[in-house]
Each structure stands twice: as C-alpha cells, then as structure tokens.
Amino acid sequence: MKAAAAAGTWKLGDLEVNRVGYGAMRLTGNGMMGNSDGTPIDRDVAVRLLHSAFEQGVNHIDTAAFYFSPLRSANELINRALASWNDNVVVATKVGPGRAPSGEWLTMARPDQLRGHVEENLRQLGRDHLDVVNLRSDGMDSIAEHFGALAELRAAGLVRHLGLSNVRPQHVAEARAIAPVVCVQNSYGLDWRRDDESGLVDLCREQGIAFVPFFAISSLRREAAPTQDHDARVHTVARAHDATPAQIRLAWTLHRGPHMLAIPGTTNLAHLAENIAAGALRLTEEELALLDKPSEAHA
C-alpha cells in the first residue's frame, strides 16, 4: 500500500482519492495566496516533487489559476508533471477571485465571468474538463447566481464536480439546492477551529461532503498561533509517536472524520514525505482529548 493511502480514501462524486493530498500554492514561492515573497521553485525540481507525491500515492491536488508569481504558475507546473505521469490524479481548482498579471487582486468575478475562469484553468492545466471546481465565496452573502453559473458549465461538460471554498453553512444549503456539492474547503486546523463552532465540519460529514481544510498546519496562519501550553501538548503527543508537531496537527485533522481530506503543501521532499506519513498516525482517545483540551488562556 502506498503511503498516502494509509488514512483511507474518500469519493469526490465518482472520483475516489486518498485522504492525504497535496496543496500546490507553495509551488509559486513561499508566500500565501500566491504572493511572491518567497523564492520560486525550479521547474524541474517542481516536477520531481510532484512525481514523488504521486509515487507515494497522492492522487488529489488542490490548485488555482491565481496561484502564480512573476516566475511560476502552479497550474502550469502541475500540467508539466501530469504530462509525464500515467496514473489518474484528481485536480481540484478554485474560481471566483482573480489576479491581474501584476499580482494585484481583482474584485470577485461576476457570474457571467466564471466561464472565463474555468477556461483559463483548462488552458493552464492542458485539460478538456476540470475534475473539481470550487467556488470561493470570499464574503458573499448569497452564492446562488455564481454557483448556478458553474452548474451550467457542469451540465455543458466543462466541469465534472462542484465544491465550495471559504463558505458558511448557509452557503452549502444554498448550493445544494442548485447542484451536488462534493467538497467544502475552508481554513481549519487544530489551532483554528471556527468551523467546529458553526457546525460546518459535522454538517459536511452528515451530508457526505468532503471537508478539505487549508492552513491545517497552523504555523502557516499568523492569526492562529497556538498558546504556549497548547503547543506543549502537541509536542508531548509528537514525542510519543516519534513524529513532528506538523504531523500531529495533520493527523488530528484526519481524525475529525472519514470525510476529512488533507492538502498540506511544501516544496521540500523530506517535508512532503513527513506530511504524507502523517496519514498513518493513529492517535489514541486520550491523546485526542489532550489536544482538544482548551488552552489555559481560553479556559
């Protein structure tokens, strides 16, 4: 069994994927959301990294056309890697926000502009259809018109399955009244659990929808810096498993339910292997209770 399969599988519609996948944002540099404040990865190194992920069983990649820097495009690196890979890999992308070639963020696309977003992803990825397209809401009160436009593209065969990103529970209900929703992608992790408070994680489980957290390794999110006592508990559990704190955070995420899919990103081969290996960690009930205990500062 390949390492990425150790946590089991989940179906995005009719597409079965291993629960440990890969997030491509970092391929453009070390900045968040495609910002170019890091050194971009060499193209050949990027292809070797992606092939290493595939060889370890990763068959679910998260990307977006707006993941780019002046020198790199995540989609085009994925295209290059997949061109020399024979097995199936499910590629999920996001539409809604846009960026100018200069990197400046643009206003949210209108519903009639989403076809252009889809076609740009198709061009960059070198595909005739997209496996999964997530509508990223970015604060919209209603997503009905936008999701309806994507449902039309799904009916036309340009998109196979639809999902949501950065949404609230009411958006899920709104979207499901229009077309099936196979996944929800929100910021979520051991130190950043707002979706527990809203009930979104459990809602997705009940409705058979994959929950795909980004920023699951909370050190990547400045707002979610763990308190000192909580960080110490993470390290305690990590030592018991001869694992890293990042691996424990990923394992905790996967333990939240069989519908949880991890998409950690990295440009480091060793970290890639560690992230994938986190899927094999089995935390005890006592360890989960320790990790879930409120921090002293919040008690």
- Are 17 and 9 within 8 A, CB to CB? yes
DSSP per position, 75-99:
HHHHHHHHHT--S--EEEEEES-EE
Question: Can you count the helices (H) and strands (E) in the chain?
Answer: 11, 11
> What is the C-alpha to C-alpha distance for residues 78 and 203, in angstroms, rounded to an integer?
32
> What is the C-alpha to C-alpha distance for residues 134 and 186, in angstroms, rounded to an integer?
11
Q: State the catalytic residue, choosing from 10, 54, 67, 192.
A: 67
Which contiguous run of DSSP H or E holds residue 202?
helix 200-206
The reply to whether 22 belongs to the active site is no
CA angle in degrees (0–180, nearest 5) for 282-278-253: 75
DSSP per position, 103-163:
SPEEPPPPGGGHHHHHHHHHHHHT-SSEEEEEEE-TT-S--HHHHHHHHHHHHTTSEEEEE
Structure tokens at 237: 């559990």
Known catalytic residues?
67
